[in-house]
Structure 1
Amino acid sequence: MLEERKDEMVQIRRHLHKNPELSFKEDKTAQYIADFYKGKDVEVQTNVGNGYGIIVTIKGGNSGKTVGLRADFDALPIHEETDVPFKSKNKGVMHACGHDGHTAYMLVLADCLIQLKDSIPGTIKIIHQNGEEMPPGGAKSMMESGLLDDLDTVYGIHLFPTHPAGYIGYRSGYAFAGRTYFKLVVQGVGGHGSSPHLSNDAIVAASHFVTAVQTVISRRLNPFDVGVITIGSFDGKGSFNVIKDSVELEGDVRYMTVEIQELIDKEVHRIAKGIEVEFGVKCELTYTADYPPLKNDPKVTAEVVASLESMNDPDIHEVSEYPMLSGSEDFAYYLEKVPGCFFVIGCKPKGVKEAYFNHHPKFDIDEDALLVAAKSVAQVVCSYYEIN
């Protein structure tokens, strides 16, 4: 059934790719998704959570456990540089992370599940999620809506061009990093460059902070743990002969476990307070955890792997473990509350030695990966319900 509808998946993906919308502005995309389900024997709930989230409930022929299947649908503020006939027509907006593919495979898979609903001993909730790319994301609010409180397990996938179509990657336990955004405003006393003793240089104090926070990774973190602190913005622009009175920094923190998150949090705050004492400045620190580390449930992951490895399908070439990834995913919010598994699908375009990674303006996929995604998730669901 899925193989017969591969071309439909491709058509949907290309339509969405041509009409991308930014996080929390996906009104036309959400309408397109909702329209797909019109006339079908399902319950459709729109505007779920903090934006355009959609939950589609497929009630099976018998009562039983409830499975959640998630696909995100937002795009990125990137100007597309690919040379494809379905290139984005929205200037400065692009599906550079594969969410168009996620939605395309999920719509067709959902329709197939609807047609087979009488044989499903339980309920399947299709989670079309908005805003994954921009904190606070859509996942957290969709979970907080209460509409997913009945989930017994949840599954999701992500397209990655690190491997060719036919590859499925998994990782038990912590798999994706958590992320924290921070902003530090250092307030000193401005003055003339010729009289530093009458001023209190915010640039000097802020520069010390930049250096000091790197010691959190090198001197406070266990060498076998993974953490990253990046200062991405240092706004100290002024006149060459004027001592700056105020400087603003913005940065990004990544961590693989909750324990590492707590340690880095403590140390960054401690260093900011130390800068105040050492330099006599005032530090205003904004420190916001965006997404938690993504932790796949070991038992569920083992079941997913066993199911995928049992497939005798010519489109599935490899099922293997992939390393921890320092990127973040708000699917982590589902996994904080519900045991589940988030795995990756290879989508490296044919004929290229090195593919452009997600979020690159030349990012593209091998559309054969759409069928692989649909088949793999269908296999996992059928195994969960013991449907042959």
Structure 2
Amino acid sequence: MIEWRRHLHQHPELSFQESETSKFIAEHLGSFGLEVVTNVGGHGVIGILRSGRLGPVVMLRADIDALPIQDEKSVPYKSQVDGVMHACGHDGHTSALLATAGYMSEHIDEFIGEIRFLFQPAEELLPGGAVKVIASGALEEVDVIYGIHLWSPIPVGTYASTPGAMMAGADDFYIELKGKGGHGGVPQASIDSIVAGSALVLQMQSIVSRSVDPLQPAVLTIGTIQAGAAQNVIAETYKLSGTVRTFDEETRYIIKERIHTLTNQIAAAYGAEAEIKYLMGYPPVINDEKEAERFFKVVSDEFGAERSSVSPKMMPAEDFAYYLKEKPGCFMFVGAGNEQLDAVYPHHHPRFDFDETAMLDAMKLFIQITKNYLKEYDDRT
């Protein structure tokens, strides 16, 4: 796993561009004797392992893409691609799932049904590779799906997940207000886009506090503002952009509607015109209650109850959410932080790294949760 991970870390590929990574995965899956399906939703790969015995279809997922970040680590396996690095652990996810596929292929007598190993492209970039994977029909006949994320905020040797909402849905908006430019000393002859835009920014702060149920977590952040070029000129155009994070669909659409309404009404009040581009991103990650319970049971039984914790809700998004809208399943964090190895930097940081022994923990979790699911099925039938 370490050898695979370091190779991938040195040769990262951006979302929707993972052609060499895909070939690397397919070659290894083929060497394990699995049926290999390529070009799944782009550069995705699925390895199929059939036991020959009646049973359900279990899907295990890893993401394979890298980020447009310059690698600033001083390690032998530093990225060799300028401006691109695995800054989120996807190289580790890929290696752990490859190892899982290799193990299961050698111990097929321990399994029933069919196991599909999904290596998904483009998790980091909208609209997300999961959408295209689902559109390709990859989830047909799948009974349950599990995904892992190596997670540096929690220490290596630990695991975390939660029933229900776990990670937020993420939407982005881009707004342009068009007024009428003019001389700063003659405001009556102009329509000041900055005044209109400033009013909009302030009013947007009331959306979460006054339009959203206070028991539903939500964030509305305005990240950029662009307007004006000189101190004595009234700006004709005012641009702003931001992001919305929510955990349920009702809140998500309430905020979207309020942004549209406020933008149009405030623009009209100041005599400006409004143009809104609202991008619906990944939905919230909502784990199946039963499968989350299975996660905690497996960790307790196989690794020790003290090694698991309930993950708090968090605002980063994950396109694994799309699979959970289609099938029961669970998204699970595997601890990968280690101060002694300087694996302390947050995900998407130029010096991000993780304790590589976490990949073995991820592999064991994949194996044991699959066995537990199949055993329950076998006991029922």
Moved more, 27-36 or 239-248: 239-248
Does 1:148 pair with 2:139? yes
Pairwise CA distance, 1:190: 1.2
| Kept after mapping to 2: 8 A contact 1:61/1:119 | no
Does 1:339 pair with 2:350? no
Counterparts of 2:123 and 2:15, CA distance in 1: 7
Match of 1:214 among 197, 205, 220: 205
Match of 1:70 among 57, 61, 75: 61
| Kept after mapping to 1: 8 A contact 2:36/2:47 | yes
Runs (5+) with no aligned partner, structure 2 = none
- The AA in structure 1 aligned to 2:161 is Y
Counterparts of 1:227 and 1:381, CA distance in 2: 34
| Kept after mapping to 2: 8 A contact 1:350/1:366 | no
Match of 2:153 among 156, 162, 169: 162
Counterparts of 1:90 and 1:73, CA distance in 2: 16
Match of 1:45 among 6, 28, 37: 37
Aligned equivalent of 2:14: 22
Name the CA shift for 1:219/1:352 in 2 (closer, same or farther; >3 Å). Answer: farther
Instruction: Please list the CA deviations of residues 269-303 of structure 1 after superposition, one character each: whole Å capped at 9, or x if unmatched.
Output: 11112112211111111111110000000011112
Counterparts of 2:128 and 2:36, CA distance in 1: 21
Runs (5+) with no aligned partner, structure 1 = 1-8
Counterparts of 1:233 and 1:34, CA distance in 2: 41
Instruction: Please list the CA deviations of residues 150-179 of structure 1 after superposition, one character each: whole Å capped at 9, or x if unmatched.
Output: 110000011111121110001100000000
Name the CA shift for 1:237/1:43 in 2 (closer, same or farther; >3 Å). Answer: farther
Match of 1:290 among 278, 281, 285: 281
Instruction: Please list the CA deviations of residues 123-150 of structure 1 after superposition, one character each: whole Å capped at 9, or x if unmatched.
Output: 1111100000111110111011112121
- The AA in structure 2 aligned to 1:12 is W
Instruction: Please list the CA deviations of residues 78-136 of structure 1 after superposition, one character each: whole Å capped at 9, or x if unmatched.
Output: 11111211111111111110001000111111111122234421111111000001111
Aligned residue pairs: how many? Answer: 377
Counterparts of 1:235 and 1:20, CA distance in 2: 33
Pairwise CA distance, 1:27: 1.2
Does 1:91 pair with 2:75? no
| Kept after mapping to 2: 8 A contact 1:349/1:364 | no
Q: Give the superposed CA RMSD.
A: 1.7
Counterparts of 2:31 and 2:341, CA distance in 1: 42
Name the CA shift for 1:329/1:312 in 2 (closer, same or farther; >3 Å). Answer: closer
Structure 1 segments, 4+ long, off by >3 Å, are none
* TM-score, structure 1 as length reference: 0.93
Match of 2:120 among 129, 137, 150: 129
Aligned equivalent of 1:309: 300
Moved more, 330-339 or 51-60: 51-60
